[in-house]
Amino acid sequence: MKELRCIRLGQIDAIKTRISNLKQSFQEYGIIRESTIQAGGPSSLNEPQPEQRKTYPYLEDDPVGFNDYLDYLVGILLKEEEGNTRVASICGMGGLGKTTLARMVYNDPRVKQYFNGGCAWVCISQQYQKRPVWEEIMINLLPKEKSQNDQKEKSQNDQKKEIKGWSDIDLISKLHEVQQNEKCLVVLDDIWKIEDWNNLCHVFPRKDTRSKILLTSRNSDVAKKADPRGIIHNLECLSPEKSWELLEKMAISWRSDSETKTYMKKLGKEMIENCGGLPLAITVLGGLLATKQTQKGWEDVHQHVRSYLHAEQNLRVNKVLALSYNDLPSHLKPCFLYLGHFPEDFEIPTKELIRMWMGEGFISQVQHRGGREDTMDDVGDRYLRELVQRCMVLVGKEGSLGRIKTCRMHDLMRDFCVSKAQDENFLHFTNTFSMKQREAQIGKVRRLAIISKSDISQC
């Protein structure tokens, strides 16, 4: 039997170098993207890439609950005072209606009239290439450029061919020119990372322009980076009144049978509580209930409302929430999943939470930043703030020095967290725990949460 030997530091460095070289090779041959390695992404090379999300500027319905936000954002974009904000941002967790609100702003007659130089809508999402984004903006901002020969309007196909022939420098220069000479609005929908903004921002002039940018993001840090003086509108969940107005409009108000409507209203008001004010969840539920013509059909949904919210094929809530999780850096994924330990609507004391992260080894060492040494508490606080900035965790109470004292999770985000933690065998849940169960679970369960009505215990 060979003698076990400790791996020397030189060997560790050699291993790190080989891993780095492998990553570089994967990127060069298109096996894995750089952003996937840095930002977490799929956990293995065999895991399929997430479907790219695409949004469009067209309003297909009459949204509920956003009119006050609409007037506020339109007012911000139309201000012309010197030194006024160049970028307005809509931030919030997935499913809150950021894209819907941006569509309302984009299609508002006041906006169309003011930004007479053109308006452009581009969906960035998690997978994009900067050159096609720049070209799309250019095409939208020059819809009626005249040909010098016959003064006839060029077709969009002609414009696309011409723009594709430009160099990056020429394209950037032309975009600067049109935004400085005209009043233009560019909407960047669903931009995820600061690196994405850094890649795209070269086409937007910082000075001598009345053009504006409206962006939507799940990460408030992106908005701060885009314009430190910019306006950030943090979108909130709908109030109970607005939630009910939306559900009633989608699934009840148009029905003719008054007796059936009365019964549906009773069940609907009970079911709406499961949506937690999340417009996406209400829309999914409303769309499902609209197809149920009988009281029996509504009773079936009422009995399994949570399951329906996660299983609806056309617009699944879990799929939207999963995008935020898939984008997490690898060191934040276990920190997020660990939040599943805590009961629904529980105010989580952050000091204890960070201690638990330390005990699990999620914060394994002190980190150095800016010439000073951060404590493990500092690192844990930074991890928590990043989850907050990504709109995956809500702030409960803050201390006088700005530290987060307690935090919590939206009910549906917690449902997703619990489901993901169980799928990955990260955490097992039970209401009771007998000795027989304990023996059966030994070697199978990594963490066990025993949740009662009054408290939470962890094993």
Q: Tell me: the pLDDT tens digits for 267-306?
A: 999 999 888 888 888 887 888 888 888 888 899 888 888 7
Is residue 314 within 8 A of residue 287, CB to CB? The reply is yes
Average pLDDT on 232-257 reads 90
Q: Which of 270, 273, 211 lies closest to 238 in space, CA to CA?
A: 273
Question: Structure tokens of 60?
Answer: 């297909």
What integer best gives the mean pLDDT of the chain? 79
**What top-level class would CATH report for the domain 67-234?**
alpha beta
Around Cβ 55, how many Cβ atoms within 10 Å?
A: 19
pLDDT interval class at 206 (50, 70, 90): confident
pLDDT band at 177 (very low <50, low <70, confident <90, very high): very high
Q: Which pLDDT value is given to residue 450? A: 58
Distances (CA, A) of 277 to 59, 98, 236: 21, 14, 9
The pLDDT value given to residue 2: 42
C-beta atoms surrounding 116 within 10 Å:
10
Radius of gyration of the chain (CA): 26
Residue 192: CB partners within 8 Å, gap ≥ 6?
Answer: 124, 125, 126, 217, 218, 219, 222, 327
pLDDT of residue 33: 41
Which residue reads 């955490």 in tokens?
427
* Packing angle, helices 350-360 and 376-389, rounded to 10: 110
pLDDT of residue 154: 52
